């Protein structure tokens, strides 16, 4: 993975490269920002730059000063994610020994083949996709203390190739408290020439003592112009279509690619949202109970994604009432529904709608019974949608 493979984050790449060239390499960095902005591929590109033996220092057309060579032995290994001094930590899930599973709390290396294949296919990886890959789509994903013990063991050994060692910890907010506390001292004072790269979608839920020991690198949504240019260059679509997709992507490259491929993973979420709104407005309790039971079967991660999606659609619907299309960020299907639904979201209920969805999200994160959470949400929606 090279810096030039990452869309619209040239300033961050330059800052990282300049730090290496000037000998200013923090022992721990926290890459933070919205999904689809390139945090994980940036971490991999930075790791490759650190271990590369043929770094360049010239100016590239994209404005990035320096790049990994891509062809030295270290780069060849990084291209396959098999470099022995670059370690990956990512969420797994609690398994059931009664079903023949060897370990209840697996470490990341047990899924390293799946990790390599999934990342190489889509560096802009998201948690839901990863959990589905390892057959855990109904789990919330977690990083356990066994993983802390494993990385402590690995870093107690010498570097395999005599250079930097890099630990890429994807989604540190998924570490349980025992794991986070056990890694705290190692992150604060790692062995010589060892760098921790923490890649977070939700920095507020990272243990504060972990956050305070890492240098923050803030990622912002990718600029529309950068997405437009990349869509034209990589997919060969015309400028007008690229501009439209870039606008509705909300700075999320993954979402933009999904729209190009006409494989928008928001369609099931939109269908469920429409059904919730229509059944709630019609006060159809029996069907709402069936709806809530169905959503309760999805699993914690898809449920949380759905509730966040509902919050976004409520905000988009409210903004739609102001007749300023440039402020809306919806695809065609979302826009078609919102044109009719928007009048039911107004000054009297918009805050309440957002609040009950936020509360439901917290309950799901807290492992409250999902059937209770979603049916309670339905009842509150009935009351709020009548406030127009």
- CATH, residue 209: 3.40.50.300
Please tell me whether residues 283 and 362 are part of one structural domain: yes
Please tell me whether residues 13 and 93 are part of one structural domain: yes
* 383 and 320 Cβ atoms separated by less than 8 Å: no
- pLDDT at position 251: 92
Mean pLDDT by runs of 10 across the 388 residues of the chain is 93 93 94 95 97 69 68 95 97 75 81 96 92 88 95 93 94 95 94 96 93 96 94 89 87 87 74 96 95 93 91 93 79 86 93 95 92 96 85
Please tell me whether residues 35 and 96 are part of one structural domain: yes
Has residue 261 been placed in a domain?
A: no
- pLDDT at position 329: 75
- pLDDT at position 188: 93
Please tell me whether residues 138 and 52 are part of one structural domain: yes
Has residue 14 been placed in a domain?
A: yes
* 249 and 256 Cβ atoms separated by less than 8 Å: yes
The pTM for the full model equals 0.76
Tell me how far apart the alpha carbons of residues 371 and 356 are, in angstroms, rounded to a whole number.
15
Tell me how far apart the alpha carbons of residues 78 and 294 are, in angstroms, rounded to a whole number.
42
Tell me how far apart the alpha carbons of residues 162 and 334 are, in angstroms, rounded to a whole number.
53
Phi and psi at residue 194, to the nearest 5°: -125, 130
Please tell me whether residues 209 and 274 are part of one structural domain: no
Has residue 68 been placed in a domain?
A: yes
| Domain enclosing residue 68, as ranges | 3-218
**How many independent structural domains does the chain possess?**
2
Has residue 21 been placed in a domain?
A: yes
Has residue 254 been placed in a domain?
A: no
Please tell me whether residues 212 and 276 are part of one structural domain: no
Please tell me whether residues 22 and 90 are part of one structural domain: yes
Has residue 376 been placed in a domain?
A: yes
- pLDDT at position 102: 61
Has residue 227 been placed in a domain?
A: no
- pLDDT at position 57: 56
């Amino acid at each position: 993975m090279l810096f030039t493979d990452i869309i619209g984050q040239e300033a961050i790449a330059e800052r990282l490269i300049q730090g290496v060239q000037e000998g200013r390499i923090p022992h721990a960095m926290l890459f933070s920002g919205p999904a689809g902005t390139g945090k994980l591929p940036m971490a991999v590109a930075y790791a490759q730059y650190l271990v590369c033996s043929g770094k360049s220092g010239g100016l590239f057309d994209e404005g990035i000063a320096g790049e990994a060579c891509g062809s030295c032995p270290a780069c060849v290994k990084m291209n396959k994610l098999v470099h022995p001094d670059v370690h990956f930590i990512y969420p797994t899930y609690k398994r059931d020994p009664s079903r023949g599973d060897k370990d209840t709390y697996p470490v990341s290396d047990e899924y390293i083949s799946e990790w390599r294949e999934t990342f190489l296919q889509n560096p802009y990886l998201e948690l839901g996709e990863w959990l589905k890959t390892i057959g855990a789509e109904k789990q919330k994903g977690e990083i356990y203390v066994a993983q802390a013990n494993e990385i402590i063991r690995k870093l107690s050994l010498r570097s395999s190739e005599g250079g930097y060692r890099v630990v890429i910890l994807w989604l540190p907010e998924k570490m349980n408290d025992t794991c986070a506390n056990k890694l705290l001292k190692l992150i604060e004072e790692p062995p010589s020439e060892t760098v921790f790269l923490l890649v977070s979608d939700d920095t507020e839920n990272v243990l504060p003592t972990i956050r305070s020991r890492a240098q923050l690198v803030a990622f912002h949504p990718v600029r529309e112009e950068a997405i437009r240019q990349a869509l034209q260059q990589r997919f060969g679509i015309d400028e007008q279509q690229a501009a439209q997709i870039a606008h509705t992507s909300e700075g999320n490259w993954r979402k933009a690619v999904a729209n190009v491929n006409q494989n928008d993973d928001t369609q099931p979420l939109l269908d469920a949202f429409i059904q919730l709104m229509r059944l709630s407005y019609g006060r159809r309790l029996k069907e709402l109970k069936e709806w809530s039971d169905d959503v309760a079967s999805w699993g914690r991660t898809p449920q949380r994604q759905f509730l966040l999606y509902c919050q976004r659609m409520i905000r988009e619907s409210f903004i739609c009432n102001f007749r300023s299309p440039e402020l809306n960020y919806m695809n065609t299907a979302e826009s078609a529904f919102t044109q009719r639904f928007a009048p039911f979201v107004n000054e009297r209920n918009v805050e309440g709608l957002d609040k009950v969805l936020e509360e439901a999200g917290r309950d799901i994160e807290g492992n409250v019974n999902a059937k209770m959470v979603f049916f309670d949400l339905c009842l509150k929606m009935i009351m709020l949608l009548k406030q127009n």
